[in-house]
Structure formats: structure tokens, C-alpha cells
Structure 1
Amino acid sequence: MSDADPAAENAYVGWADRLAARLAAENASAAKDFGYANLAVRGRLLGDVVGPQLDAALEMRPDLVSIVGGGNDILRPKADLDRIADRLEEAVIRVRSTGADVLLATTADPGNAPVLKKVRPRTAIHTANVWAIAQRQGAHVLDIWSMRVLRDSRMWAADRLHLSTEGHIRVAAQAWWALGFREGQRDWTDPLPPAPPLSRRDSLQANAVWAKEYLAPWVQRRLQGRSSGDEVTPKRPTLGPI
């Protein structure tokens, strides 16, 4: 369950898919059955995540539910962070009451990223709320905020909102660790080799291209009350083997 497609445009395998593959292998080694569904739809608000998506997830009687929501909500200037936290906690309580485990996720730290740095205070509060909810309700936390390696622009797709292939690999590794599988190294923290330096001119040109191809359409959708996920359906709406 999520407000972002974990394999944006299906161009690569998302972190949730990678995590599921590792969990499937872990269960297979213990001769246990394993099924996986991915109900995430990019662009959706928390109401959809904790509403229809959660309803569908619980009908499958899961043992583990990942709830990744609120990130799109807090991009909106009038977002009510307390209400977002309350709704998220209500969803966690609902899942935990069935006996299932919950994996929550914080948002990434936007740092000084153009435009997104303006929402850093809200993302920090949301991250603190996620940790508080997890502590109260006994949930696991995928702490994306703490992943300094994600400050490398190569960890992000061209839209600067969704992860690149390498970013998904790192987040999946951290999620595995967050679920209690602590063997091996914390390889998601390893930095990439230094990138070739960008001139100021090239940097400004890259920002201009991003603003034209991604930021402007996003603003237009907001003004029109539309979302990039309006016509998108879940990639794995039913439980099945990997």
C-alpha cells in the first residue's frame, strides 16, 4: 500500500518488489508459502491509501502490510499534519488488530533540493509522527529520512520525486534491515563513486529542463484538481507468488 508507484512506469523493479522477492526466498528456505500483492498507485493521497487500498489489503488476510502514505499530502501548502498522523495511526491500529505486522516508511529528507526544500519542515514533522506511531503501535519503520546516500541525485529518477533503480535497491535493503533481518552489512549506506562535476551552466540547464518537463505539469495538475495517479491501477492487485 502506498501513495507512489514503487516501480514508476514499470521501468524497473521497485523497492517493495525487491523486498518481497527477498521475503519469498526467506520463506521458501523454510518451506513456507508466500504471496505478495502491490496495491500502490502513484500520486494518491493518504485517504486512498488508508481507505480503499487498506480495505483491499485486509481482505487478503495478510501477515505483513506496508503502509507508505502522506508524502503527497504534505506537498500541499494547507496540509493538516496532525490529521494526516491521526489517519495513519488509525490505519496502523486497524491492521495490528488483525495480528498482522506493519511496516511504515518516513519520507526522504529533501535537504536543499530546489523547490522541495520548502516542504522540509513538514516532511520532518511527518517523519517524527511516523516514528511516534510506530513506537505506540509496535510497527516497523523504514527510515528513508536517515538515508544520507539518497542525497545523491543519481538515487532519483528524472522527476526528482521517485527513486531510480539504484535508489530502489538501497531502500529495499534498508527495509529488509528494518524488518529485523540484521545479518550482513548495511550496504545501503555505501556511497556511489564520485560523479563528474557539473558546471554551473549545465546545472542551471538541467534545472530548467526539470521545471519544464516535471514541475510545470505537476503544478498544472494541482490547479486542475487532478493527480498523476487518476488513471493508474495497482500493478499487483491480487495476492500471488513472486
Structure 2
Amino acid sequence: MNVWKQDRPTRDASAVPAPHPWHRLVALGDSFTEGIGDPEPLSEAGLRGWADRVAEELSANQPDFAYANLAVRGLMLQQIMDQQLAPAMALKPDLVTLSAGGNDIVFRRSDPDRLAEKIDDGVGQLTRSGATVVLFAGPDWGATPVFSQIRGKVAIFNENLHAVAARHDAVMVDLWFLRELTNPGMWDPDRLHFSPLGHHTIATAVLNSLGVPHTLVPLQPKQLPPRNWRQARAEDLIWAREYLVPWALRQLRQHTAEDELLHAKRPEPGPVFGIGSPPGPFIGGSSAA
């Protein structure tokens, strides 16, 4: 597997990350990769997300490192393949993250085997270009009302993704087995997207899977007070009314002019002004916040 080998990723916040072999990261996907749930006014489109957090770490002490994020919220797997694959390859990345298919399973109840066939072809194209590809097995929504009904399909899709990763020597980040994500504090109130703490946790998992030393420190989420069953059911009803139903209706309706205005927040690779990388001029790419 094309992964930078280290005995153990450092989690000391004072440690300086060691160099790694990658110089250009391109992130593909939907709202998960765009960073929905992790607002940050100083970031592109007002969002940060796990991909930005990973790029910040990878850019440390790597002056020529560049990062592009082509993800657009709401896209289905085939749309991601059609709209993002070719532009991503044109940017000539040596590291690509790809997360797709979640919207298909959640909102279209699509066949996980057919979805895996589509993603397998895309991953094959990316790996043949010489890039290291990172894939994601979806989280376990078993404790979430309504979504628990598709738990089996998510599990099947995840197993297929493991096979795709093995076939193409890709790196797998398995969110299903990342049990920290079962904590409510890891999720946005809509229960569809991750909170800032969730995005932070996923960024840590990505860097660990790549074998890259980093400065991210796992945060212990504050324990929620015990809830009785009446409180839990009342919260479920509020969530369904305020988040689930409006989201489902948006997914089912036809594309509108508003949808056509959605675009990637970082369409061109540029420097990441994170740790160890002070702002400055960059030739050949857009500036980053």
C-alpha cells in the first residue's frame, strides 16, 4: 500500500510533523468532504471540515504543498464521477481523497453493489495516474431513527469499498469502526453531518491511516446528561421536523437555478496556511485563507 510508513503517528501538540511524500492533495465528494457542519468564517465558503484540517497538517514544513477541494454538497455518486474525476486528474495530484455514495444510499436507497462498481472504475483511473487514493467506509447510523433502516445497505457498501481499496492498493479510513463517532457531540444537530469535533476526529483518522505524524490531539467530548425515554423521543420528533423532512424534500425535487450556483470551494490547488506555513505569495494557484 502506498502509505508513508511510520511506527506511530505522534499526538504531541508540540511535536513538529516529519516530511511525507505528498505535494498535492485533491479532495472529491459531497457535503462530507466540503465540510458541512464545521463552520469557519476565515475558510473558503465559510467551511473548514476534515479535508482542510488534513491539508493544514500535511502542509507543515512542506512549502510546495498545494490543496484543492472539488466537493459539492448534495451530489450523487455518478455526479461526482462525471463532474469531479476528470478535473481532479487534470490537477495532477499525488494524493486524492474520495467519498461518494452516501447520498445515494441515504436518499435513493440505491443498490450498494452497483454503487461499488461505479466507484471501483473511478478509483482505478485515479490509482493508474500514480496518485495515492484514500477511501472512506461510512459511519454506523444504527442509533439514528429512520437511518437505522438502511444500516444493512451501508454495511454492504462498506464491505464493497474495502474490496475496492484492496484491489487498487488504496488507503481505507473506516468510519464504521471509529467508535468515537457514536458520541452525539461528534454530530451536527441535523444528524446528517459531523460537528467540528467530528471533523477533527475524522482528520485525525485520515492522518493516522496515511501514517503521517501530526499535531492533532484527540478531544474527549463532554458527556451528555442522562436522558429519559420521553426526552429522547421528543428530540427525535424535533429533529425529524426541522432537519430530516426538509432535507429529504430537497433531495427529491428537481435541480433548480439555486443548485446550479453550487460550486467547489477550492477548485484550484493552492497553499494551505496552516501550522508552519505563514501566508505569502503563491505562483500557480489560488490563495487560501
Calculate the TM-score normalised by the size of structure 2: 0.75
Q: Deviation at 1:3?
A: 1.9
Q: Deviation at 1:50?
A: 1.6
Q: Deviation at 1:187?
A: 5.8
Residues 4-23 of structure 1 deviation map (CA, whole Å, 9 limit, x = unaligned): 25321761420000001111
Report what 1:94 is aligned to.
Answer: 125
Report what 1:218 is aligned to.
Answer: 247
Runs of 5+ in structure 1 lacking a partner? none
RMSD, aligned α-carbons: 2.3
Q: Structure 1: how far apart are the matches of 2:59 and 2:84?
A: 22
Q: Deviation at 1:78?
A: 4.4
Q: Is the 8 A contact 1:174 1:186 kept in 2?
A: no
Which has more helix, going by share of residues?
A: 1
Q: CA 1:231/1:159 → structure 2, altered by over 3 Å: closer, same or farther?
A: farther
Q: CA 1:229/1:27 → structure 2, altered by over 3 Å: closer, same or farther?
A: farther
Q: Is the 8 A contact 1:101 1:139 kept in 2?
A: yes
Report what 1:204 is aligned to.
Answer: 233
Do structure 1's residue 194 and structure 2's residue 223 form an aligned pair? Answer: yes
Aligned length: 236
Report what 1:23 is aligned to.
Answer: 58
Which one is further off, 193-202 or 212-221?
A: 193-202
Report what 2:276 is aligned to.
Answer: none
Residues 147-179 of structure 1 deviation map (CA, whole Å, 9 limit, x = unaligned): 111111110001101000000000000000111
Report what 2:86 is aligned to.
Answer: 55
Which one is further off, 163-172 or 9-18?
A: 9-18
Q: Deviation at 1:191?
A: 4.9
Which one is further off, 3-12 or 204-213?
A: 3-12
Q: Is the 8 A contact 1:41 1:229 kept in 2?
A: no
In the alignment, which of 14, 27, 36 is matched to residue 8 of structure 1? 36
Report what 1:235 is aligned to.
Answer: 265
Do structure 1's residue 115 and structure 2's residue 161 form an aligned pair? Answer: no
Q: CA 1:166/1:206 → structure 2, altered by over 3 Å: closer, same or farther?
A: same
Q: Structure 2: how far apart are the matches of 1:77 and 1:10?
A: 25
Q: Structure 1: how far apart are the matches of 2:113 and 2:247?
A: 25
Which portions of structure 1, spanning 4 or more consecutive aligned residues, are displaced by more than 6 angstroms?
none
Q: Is the 8 A contact 1:3 1:43 kept in 2?
A: yes
Q: Structure 1: how far apart are the matches of 2:214 and 2:128?
A: 32
Runs of 5+ in structure 2 lacking a partner? 1-27, 41-47, 273-289
Q: Structure 2: how far apart are the matches of 1:230 and 1:132?
A: 34
What SS class does the counterpart of residue 163 from structure 1 fall into?
coil
Which one is further off, 156-165 or 211-220?
A: 211-220
Q: CA 1:75/1:47 → structure 2, altered by over 3 Å: closer, same or farther?
A: same
The sequence identity of aligned pairs, in percent, is 36
In the alignment, which of 123, 148, 155 is matched to residue 186 of structure 2? 155
Letter in 2 for 1:221: R
Which one is further off, 231-240 or 6-15?
A: 6-15
Q: Structure 2: how far apart are the matches of 1:186 and 1:40?
A: 23
What SS class does the counterpart of residue 133 from structure 2 fall into?
strand
Letter in 2 for 1:236: R
Q: Is the 8 A contact 1:43 1:229 kept in 2?
A: no
Q: Deviation at 1:218?
A: 2.1
Q: Deviation at 1:54?
A: 1.1
What SS class does the counterpart of residue 131 from structure 1 fall into?
helix
Greater RCO structure (CA 8 Å; 6+ sep): 2
What SS class does the counterpart of residue 160 from structure 1 fall into?
coil
